[in-house]
Amino acid sequence: MGLKIKRGDTVVVISGKEKGKRGEVERVIPAKSRVVVNGVNVRTRHARPSQNNQEGLYTFAAPMHVSNVMLVDPNSGEPTRVGYRFTDTGEKVRVSKKSGKDIE
């Protein structure tokens, strides 16, 4: 099944140590039901120092499960659940459950 969150969406973390943080979705991994959110769940990796990276430290945003994030309604700015509806032309559109308005 596809995910209700897409790349470029603004989401808020609803559980875990990063709870309350907001960020934009950089990448979606539907096979593992995970998303990568910019600036959230940041990890540090150690590697051998090189000419380009003298310290040898790399930081990156690690994937988190999609159930731990909630889409932010573009109209109200509050977290909301996502539903679907079909337009007259048969196109499938995401809908905010809180405001009832289309997303995107």
What would the pLDDT profile of 2-43 be if each residue is shown by its tens digit? 789 999 999 999 999 999 999 999 999 999 999 999 999 999
Rounded-to-integer distance, Cα 63 and Cα 28, Å: 9
CB atoms within 10 A of CB 52: 5
Q: Report the SS3 class of residue 102.
A: strand
pTM flag (> 0.95): no
Q: What is the pLDDT of residues 59-83, one digit of tens each?
A: 999 999 999 999 999 888 999 999 9
Domains in the chain, ordered, with CATH?
Answer: 1-72 (2.30.30.30), 74-104 (no CATH)
For 95-104, the CB contacts below 8 A with 24+ separation are: 96/71, 98/73, 99/73, 99/75, 101/73, 101/75, 103/71, 103/73, 103/74
